[in-house]
Structure 1
Amino acid sequence: MGNQPLIVLSDDSQRTSGKDAQSMNISAGKAVAEAVRTTLGPKGMDKMLVDSTGNVVVTNDGVTLLTEMEIDHPAANMIVEVSETQEEEVGDGTTTAVVVAGELLKRAEELLEQDIHATTLAQGYRQASTKANEVLDEIAIDVDASDDEVLQQIAATAMTGKGAENAKDLLSSLVVQAVQTVADEDGIDTDNVKVEKVVGGSIDNSELVEGVIVDKERVNDNMPYFSEDANIALIDGALEIKETEIDAEVNVTDPDQLQQFLEQEEAQLKEMVDKLAAAGADVVFVDGGIDDMAQHYLAEEGIIAVRRVKSSDMSRLARSTGARAVNTVDDLTEDHLGFAGSVAQKDIAGDQRIFVEDVEDAKAVTLILRGGTEHVIDEVDRAIEDSLGVVRTTIKDGQVVAGGGAPEVELSLALRDYADSVGGREQLAIEAFADALEVIPRTLAENAGLDPIDSLVELRSAHDGGDVAAGLDAYTGATIDMGEEGVYEPRRVKGQAIESATEAAVMLLRIDDVIAAGELKGGGSDDGDDEEMPPGGGMGGMGGMGGMGGMGGAM
């Protein structure tokens, strides 16, 4: 074939290789980190995201930001996955994980320019991550699962900076109470804590209901509003006449036949209600519909009925009241019934809801969140989700570390000492890892309007002197003992953030060839003339990062 080039890719394919590919991926990772960096800490700023239909989300929650931004770039999406993993595993620390990942890539870029091989960097980063988790184990503080004060401090730390500061004492107390209530021998499933958002009133009006609130009304106005010491039945079906499975035709030749047909239907419905009453049910929650005639008979029996209840609510009702769901009324016996001291239809901010309260062993609870506007409640809801996650993690693991950038500074110092013992080119990677961790206290200082260099020097000095819990007070700028201040985070949140950030950075650094089936948004070109992506919102095709309506300007 002589010197004729061999074409193995389609004309539409785009290939970026070598340093161009590494540079493109690193730029993508840094841009994602830069987008969320200003949201970190108690003085972090909010972002406004506007989608193509005009819907607005105002938040500084890392995982919410990154998922709402609809990022297209494949390398950037790997960083987004870091935040999603962090959220699923431990419930908080998403911004920390992404910012650390971005800083690891930035430090790696400097070493790559010095001809340090990506494999060497990857090895050094992995060693540093392992060592960092060992140091975290050494500095972690043991916490008793029944220590309400520390648990409330952890919950308050998680929601600081998310619009809930004014009521964080109340909310953190409610969160701890909720998690402790739903805990059982199988662990803690925070899905059993339902958050009911109600627009109206202030955040201070929020409350915890030990039981379930169903966002429905009783099906008939003639039914009682209230039932005391109520036996509760759960039907995973409908209180209606079953339709035939095949198309059927009924020929009626005179009015008497029609009347008999209708009477037979009514008798069947009356029989269903009689069975409910015979079993002793005072309240019935139905997954499907309830026939109008059945509603009439239920009202006559004084039974409160609620239809088309969500399966998640049915599960919570079963868990909370002890009721066992049945498929049809024919299967119902007294043993299937649950119990609640009070079932009532109440008004909250103009909406009617069914309250199931005063249960013997509430393994499902409802947190009513109040707030002046929908945007305020949504952001407080995200803060509550983070708090539930960290309290659950703390109770499960029983270990915390101080907040305010204290662990990162301690880890940074320990890793620099460790690097000296490693030697070789990996030593440079471990030192770069140590520098990268300091991005957290530095960013906390920047977001609080403080001088990051002065703050970092003070923190290093305190940690050199043996003060492991020394962190940055974002409100005063002073270096204080975070343990005495009650600023704690679960040890696993920090460990998971470092592990996830390391894995994402290493994965991106090891890519030296990007082959795209079509045009790679935000990437380079065949001639290697890649434009570096601007920080924050201009990655061109990070899709969401400049493309969600007016979002680019909000970055």
Structure 2
Amino acid sequence: MVTQEHESLLSETERSQGRVALRNNVAAASALADAVRSTLGPKGLDKMLVSGEGGVTVTNDGVTVLETAKVEHPTAKMLIAQSSAQDREAGDGTTSTVILTAELLQNALELIEMGVHPTLVEKGYRLASKEAMSHLQQMSKEATEEDSLRSVMTSLSGKSDEGVRHHLSQLAVSAATSLATEVNGKIEADPTLVKKVNDGGRPSTESELVSGLVIAKEPIHTEMKMFPDGGKILILDGGISRRKPDLDISLKVTTIGMTSALNAQEMADIQNRVDIIAATGCNLLCARDGIDDDASNMLLAAGITSYRRIEKPDLELLARTTGALVVHEPTLAKPEDLGNFTSLNTQNWNGVSQMQLIGSEKGGLTLIVRGTTKTRIDEVSRGFDDASGVACGLVRDPRILPGGGATQMALARHLRKIAPTVPGREQLAIEAFSGALESIPRILSENAGLSPLDEVLRLNAAQEEGGDWIGLNMYSGETESMYDAGIIEPLVVSLNAISGAMEAAVSVLRIDDVLWANQDPSIPDWEKSDGSVGET
């Protein structure tokens, strides 16, 4: 029995149930997919994103388009979250994930309109996804070093020109190789260990990868020395300055010399903190906040080279590449908090002094992003993010699949063969899953100006004769071996895209009731508008 209180709550709520709710959710997913479908593939078009402040971004990167858009519908937000997860896990396949999810939902809606229950559609989708994962493993090949480079270049198709794509791909593969390290018996490579520094006014093909972390800072004192042979570093999430009282107080000077005595006490406090830092044996101090001039002279006398006002992300990168623990207060510093670095030097680029540190831990690289304009620099930076994500993914799992829609077509053909072996209405869902997979080669053809229907039929026939690695070459318009054409992609991209799209679609299918609260946020009864507290 619904209580009177619940009836009052629902009276202030807009409610959609059953198939109406599903239709609305599928419409939202389809609208989101339509916003990025024209960006898919090497012939995909760009989107111009204009922010509320008038900033302009031109890109065909699906996840950038989705994360920049202002979306209110909860289903659309779910798809954007799934696309972002795909970007973090695989570094590519974000647009494919959204398109597959929308196609799965559209096909599921058709089945439900025919009378198939959503739980049966879910069961069929899960069976199809499991079978697809197994077939992907069988299709995959081990990647050589050359394959890794070609796979990274495929991920950048349609982004910038050929020369920049090739250059960024080489940088990304080089970075992934340098970052590769063994963790718990597995090879890992973390692309977030690469710091980016912008350097405008030069061609993008002159972007370069340098060892160590480069930070636009100079020592707080000109006489502080560098350590080209390495040393120990202390990272301080704070500063060294005169302490200020927490309360707003006034001091009344009644005795001559009281001010100088207070100043002497403050100097003694700073000296004590510097002595504690020096006692740890560190050679280099990097602080997030300011360091007073008095402290600067004391650190110079102690032989400690110091940098101040370093951004928090840079501090975290320094900690990860040197193995140091971040200390929040100088008086808490201990020798075991120190990290190690193998080299500390200073560089000067375009009149800006740069600190260059190479940590003892494997990793810590800096990409000097160059471009003639800010828009160009941003484009190169996003391209390297995608490329490094794919390259690092290949370090973790060096298996590859064909591109050009070959993988999705091969899976669709395989699922259609096994669908009749599944009893019950679940086989209809498997057929629907197969149809959703065919949307990828169909949209690739459409974006290349080809006939979607003709190309899908031609690819289907070509794979029947030549095998699963036959795909569509959008540059030549022919069907050929994707391995020979160098159009390949990491296995992990397809694994994550298909499983993620299936999970997102199932999550939406299980929703049969959507409640939208109409009432605006209100002040609780126990807090009055004048700030007083009422009875509870």
Task: Tell me: higher relative CO, structure 1 or 2? Use CA pairs within 8 A at least 6 residues apart.
Answer: 1
The within-5 A match list for 1:400-479 is 400-479=400-479
Q: What's the offset of the Cα at 1:514?
A: 2.6
> Which segment drifts farther, 433-442 or 335-344?
335-344
CA distance in 2, matches of 1:318, 1:120: 51
Q: What's the offset of the Cα at 1:422?
A: 1.6
Contact 1:179–1:193, Cα closer than 8 Å, also in 2: no
The within-5 A match list for 1:293-442 is 293-298=294-299, 304-323=305-324, 325-326=326-327, 327-328=329-330, 331=333, 333=335, 336=338, 338-347=340-349, 349=350, 351-357=352-358, 359=359, 361-442=361-442
Indicate how the Cα distance of structure 1 residues 330 and 498 shifts in structure 2: closer, same or farther if over 3 A, else same. closer
CA distance in 2, matches of 1:120, 1:28: 23
Contact 1:230–1:341, Cα closer than 8 Å, also in 2: yes
SS in 1 for 2:431: helix
SS in 1 for 2:35: helix
The AA in structure 2 aligned to 1:490 is P
1:500 aligns with 2:497: no
Indicate how the Cα distance of structure 1 residues 113 and 277 shifts in structure 2: closer, same or farther if over 3 A, else same. closer
Contact 1:272–1:330, Cα closer than 8 Å, also in 2: no
Q: Which runs of 5+ in 2 are unaligned?
A: 1-5, 520-536
Q: What's the offset of the Cα at 1:410?
A: 0.5
CA distance in 1, matches of 2:334, 2:443: 60
The AA in structure 2 aligned to 1:39 is T
Q: What's the offset of the Cα at 1:362?
A: 4.1
CA distance in 2, matches of 1:7, 1:229: 74
The aligned residue for residue 191 of structure 2 is 190
SS in 2 for 1:480: strand
SS in 1 for 2:112: helix
Contact 1:199–1:372, Cα closer than 8 Å, also in 2: yes
CA distance in 2, matches of 1:374, 1:189: 26
CA distance in 1, matches of 2:444, 2:332: 62
SS in 2 for 1:239: coil
Indicate how the Cα distance of structure 1 residues 96 and 263 shifts in structure 2: closer, same or farther if over 3 A, else same. same
Indicate how the Cα distance of structure 1 residues 69 and 134 shifts in structure 2: closer, same or farther if over 3 A, else same. same
SS in 1 for 2:445: helix
CA distance in 2, matches of 1:335, 1:518: 53
Aligned-pair RMSD on alpha carbons?
3.0
Contact 2:234–2:282, Cα closer than 8 Å, also in 1: no
The aligned residue for residue 13 of structure 2 is 13
CA distance in 1, matches of 2:500, 2:357: 41
The aligned residue for residue 522 of structure 2 is none
The aligned residue for residue 217 of structure 1 is 218
The AA in structure 2 aligned to 1:168 is R
The aligned residue for residue 43 of structure 2 is 43
What's the CA shift string for 1:334-384, capped at 9, x where partnerless?
A: 99363333321422x554432224x55542212221122222222332222
The AA in structure 2 aligned to 1:469 is W
Contact 1:201–1:372, Cα closer than 8 Å, also in 2: yes
SS in 1 for 2:217: coil
Q: What's the offset of the Cα at 1:226?
A: 5.2
The AA in structure 1 aligned to 2:492 is R
Q: How many residues align?
A: 509
The aligned residue for residue 531 of structure 1 is none
Indicate how the Cα distance of structure 1 residues 512 and 306 shifts in structure 2: closer, same or farther if over 3 A, else same. same
Contact 2:393–2:492, Cα closer than 8 Å, also in 1: yes
The aligned residue for residue 523 of structure 1 is none
CA distance in 2, matches of 1:276, 1:11: 64
Indicate how the Cα distance of structure 1 residues 421 and 232 shifts in structure 2: closer, same or farther if over 3 A, else same. same
The alignment-based identity, stated in percent, is 39
Q: Which runs of 5+ in 1 are unaligned?
A: 1-5, 520-555
Contact 1:82–1:500, Cα closer than 8 Å, also in 2: yes
The within-5 A match list for 1:47-446 is 47-143=47-143, 147-163=144-160, 165-186=162-183, 187-220=188-221, 222-223=222-223, 227-236=227-236, 237-243=238-244, 252-253=253-254, 256-266=257-267, 268-269=269-270, 282-298=283-299, 304-323=305-324, 325-326=326-327, 327-328=329-330, 331=333, 333=335, 336=338, 338-347=340-349, 349=350, 351-357=352-358, 359=359, 361-446=361-446
The aligned residue for residue 484 of structure 1 is 484
Q: What's the offset of the Cα at 1:154?
A: 2.2
SS in 2 for 1:71: coil
What's the CA shift string for 1:489-546, capped at 9, x where partnerless?
A: 2212112111121222223233333332229xxxxxxxxxxxxxxxxxxxxxxxxxxx
The AA in structure 2 aligned to 1:215 is A
